[in-house]
Structure 1
Amino acid sequence: MASHRRPAQPGLTQSVRVTVLSAAVATAAAGLAAPAGAAPGGPSGTAKGTGTVKSQVDRLYEQAEQATEKFNAAGERTDTLRQKVAQATDRVVRGQEQVNRMRRALGMIATAQYRNGAVDPAIQLLLSSDPDAYLERAATLDRVTGRQAEQLKALLEAQRTLRQERSEAVGVLAQLEDSRQAVEHHKREVEGKLATARRLLNSLPERDREAYARASRSGGDRSQGSLAGLPSLVGLSSRGAAAAMAARSAVGTPYAWGATGPGAFDCSGLMQWAYGRAGVGLPRTSQAQRNAGRHVSLSEAQPGDLVIYRNDASHVGMYVGNGQVVHAPYPGARVRYDPANMMPISSVTRP
């Protein structure tokens, strides 16, 4: 069900196990599980009550998937910002080294003049902590000629650039901290939704839990017989076929939100990994994957096309032929085949 992740960060790339909720989440779960005074498993634990719990679990999984998309997007942004911080820091260091070299060179001129008995007032500003203000006086510039003037102007420009680089680095660091907090927020939201869903599932009789695990996202039982009609992809050279073969090879792999394989996947992480095996880079989130190629109709779908679900594009599967997709459904489930029309389709994208 969920979406994507970042390999550079262990906290974002590793599978996050569903844990028991805190008392607050448990209270929320109890509120969802027992509406209008009818406790699950109690006297009114009828088929209707079971259906209500199942619909609540489905809704929680959908909300967790949406939060996972935000988590993946924030993680991707955090990775990008970390790279920007590193680049900005490097520019600041190199800029400071350049300024230091210039000041040392110009300081040698002042030292030589001092030894000769007098230091030109203009040269004194070379060692000033605020040469910009000094230089605003035209009379000062009049005293600086030739090579010294060029050296001084170069120094001032380098100092201005350094100040700008430092300011930009501070700004990027602030963005990075905001993004890091967003990652943590979405992580807590996902874990809360999933733990609540698990609590509700545990309130069902075992046979109902097993039936839920067997059911597809569309609510029907999966028909393994329909898989016999899947086309053979062996020998096909298209990147879509290569990605579809990779996705089919992942069937049976556990779902883990925020994971990009190969040991576990969330929905968009599986798509990114499968196309990576085909030598094609895909964006991390299912929202971005929706626009990562040409849109076609479901009737035109070919193996390797991405089937994007819901208006918010919070879930994605890969079309593999015969009206089937391979996808990572939700926590507790494994990568599997399901009907391509199992949920409302937002678009079919051919990378």
Structure 2
Amino acid sequence: MASHRRPKQPSRTRVTVLTATAAAAVALSSQAAQADPKPTKKDVKAQVDKLYEEAEVATEKYNGAKEKQDSLEKQVDALQDKVARGQGELNKLRNGLGSMATAQYRSGGVDPSLQLILSSDPDDYLDKASTLNQVTSKQAGSLKKIADTQRTLKQQREEAALKLKDLADTRKALGTKKRDIQDKLSKAQTLLNTLTAKERADLAKAEEERANRSNADRSKLEDGKDSGQGGEQGGNQDGGSDTGSNVPTSGRAGAALAAAQGKIGSPYVWGATGPGSFDCSGLTSWAYAQADVKLDRTSQAQANNGTRIGRSALKPGDLVLFYGDLHHIGLYAGNNQVLHAPKPGANVRYESMDNMPFQFGVRI
């Protein structure tokens, strides 16, 4: 017979727990939605600009490590060449003494002095030679040369071993810095991808207009100079104070600036030193190389390649350093303008000196 009992109803306690759990889930979902709102275009730009600046800091550290690696590789190669030549000389000296020993053996045996000469410790022989009175001056001279060569080889091998360890550490640091740069650039791209295509286009347009304003202002100033108006006045109209004469301080400064001007529009690429792409210190070092002046690789090192000067003393072609840690550098172009490789995603261009925290200039 079929049962007609009613199904068991959930208890009041169980209903309360389920209701509370559902409410909590809804609340958490609401909080999560509120905690992770889509960043605005302004927020994205600020974060991306910060990441690009951090990437440039890391780039200058990478450049320094790369320069050290290149220098160490040359030093290690030179030391290894010296060791190889020294070993060849040592082998030749030992062969000479071996021939002498063979000749003596054939004529009646090797005397005690040559036994000591061919020992593994020539220095010990020299200490004892004075009591033997059996060593010819030629043998003593050969042995001393062997001992000196052995000592030199030992020192060179030890120095090469230390350089090789330093080189290995530098290569490891180089890899770490490279990953740091790539990580920051990847994060910047991820942020940009949160924007719509139109928002990204608007940012790119604003960046281009900013660069074009600097170039347009410069063109007006140069047109004013050509028509007889002073560049001094134009500099003030640009919104910044006049910062020195518009004539380069030297032929090499003028040549470096002219070389950099020929690269306007070239892309910023971290670690690049031209001629097709540049980072900030890559552009300045390449430009001065065209004027037969060798600068150090990094912006911080280039800050010490000449005489430091204040803003009011700047002339075209002088180096200009920005930010407290000196991680950015460019060439002063006159009329309150810097010519530089700005950052990832931007090309070599003129820009107002007021767009970055200026520290000092360097006259080469």
TM-score, normalization: structure 1? 0.81
Match of 2:160 in 1: 169
**How many residues in Structure 1 have an aligned counterpart in Structure 2?**
310
Q: Retained in 2: the 8 A contact 1:141–1:149?
A: no
CA distance in structure 2 between the aligned counterparts of 1:141 and 1:188, rounded to whole angstroms = 66
1:320 counterpart SS class: strand
Residues 234 and 317 (structure 1), Cα distance of their counterparts in 2 relative to 1, 3 Å cut? closer
Identity of aligned residues (%): 48
Q: Does 1:284 align with 2:284?
A: no
Gaps of 5+ in 2: 1-31, 227-245
Q: Retained in 2: the 8 A contact 1:295–1:349?
A: yes
Picking from 315, 320, 324, the partner of 2:328 is 315
Q: Which has the larger radius of gyration?
A: 2
Q: Retained in 2: the 8 A contact 1:243–1:277?
A: yes
CA distance in structure 2 between the aligned counterparts of 1:350 and 1:156, rounded to whole angstroms = 52
Match of 1:247 in 2: 260
Match of 2:36 in 1: 38
CA distance in structure 1 between the aligned counterparts of 2:302 and 2:287, rounded to whole angstroms = 13
CA distance in structure 2 between the aligned counterparts of 1:35 and 1:143, rounded to whole angstroms = 98
Q: Does 72-81 or 131-140 show the bigger shift?
A: 131-140
Cα distance per residue 1:272-306 (max 9 Å; x no partner)? 11111111111100001111111111122111111
Q: Retained in 1: the 8 A contact 2:320–2:329?
A: yes
CA distance in structure 1 between the aligned counterparts of 2:146 and 2:118, rounded to whole angstroms = 11
Residues 322 and 201 (structure 1), Cα distance of their counterparts in 2 relative to 1, 3 Å cut? same
Q: Does 1:300 align with 2:313?
A: yes
CA distance in structure 1 between the aligned counterparts of 2:129 and 2:108, rounded to whole angstroms = 25
Q: Equivalent residues in 2 for 1:70-109 (5 A)? A: 70-109=61-100
Q: Does 304-313 or 144-153 show the bigger shift?
A: 144-153
Picking from 165, 170, 173, the partner of 1:182 is 173
How many Å apart are 1:70 and its aligned residue? 0.9
CA distance in structure 2 between the aligned counterparts of 1:250 and 1:52, rounded to whole angstroms = 32
CA distance in structure 1 between the aligned counterparts of 2:127 and 2:180, rounded to whole angstroms = 56
Q: Does 230-239 or 69-78 show the bigger shift?
A: 230-239
Gaps of 5+ in 1: 1-33
1:77 counterpart SS class: helix
Match of 1:199 in 2: 190
Residues 331 and 122 (structure 1), Cα distance of their counterparts in 2 relative to 1, 3 Å cut? same
Q: Does 105-114 or 50-59 show the bigger shift?
A: 50-59
Cα distance per residue 1:125-174 (max 9 Å; x no partner)? 33223333454445666432311111111111111111111111111111
Q: Retained in 2: the 8 A contact 1:267–1:316?
A: yes
Match of 1:56 in 2: 47
Q: Retained in 2: the 8 A contact 1:308–1:348?
A: yes
Picking from 112, 118, 122, the partner of 2:109 is 118
Q: Does 184-193 or 195-204 show the bigger shift?
A: 195-204
Counterpart of 1:277, as a letter, is Q
Match of 1:266 in 2: 279
Q: Retained in 2: the 8 A contact 1:107–1:126?
A: no
Q: Retained in 1: the 8 A contact 2:314–2:332?
A: yes
CA distance in structure 1 between the aligned counterparts of 2:34 and 2:88, rounded to whole angstroms = 70
2:354 counterpart SS class: coil
How many Å apart are 1:109 and its aligned residue? 1.5
Cα distance per residue 1:182-239 (max 9 Å; x no partner)? 111111100100111111122223444344335569x898443211214789999611
Match of 2:136 in 1: 145
Q: Does 126-135 or 330-339 show the bigger shift?
A: 126-135
Counterpart of 2:296, as a letter, is P
Q: Does 1:336 align with 2:349?
A: yes
How many Å apart are 1:38 and its aligned residue? 2.9
How many Å apart are 1:331 and its aligned residue? 1.5
CA distance in structure 1 between the aligned counterparts of 2:297 and 2:79, rounded to whole angstroms = 25
Cα distance per residue 1:322-343 (max 9 Å; x no partner)? 1111111111111111101211
Counterpart of 1:196, as a letter, is K
Match of 2:363 in 1: 350
**Structure of higher RCO (CA pairs closer than 8 Å, 6+ residues apart):** 1
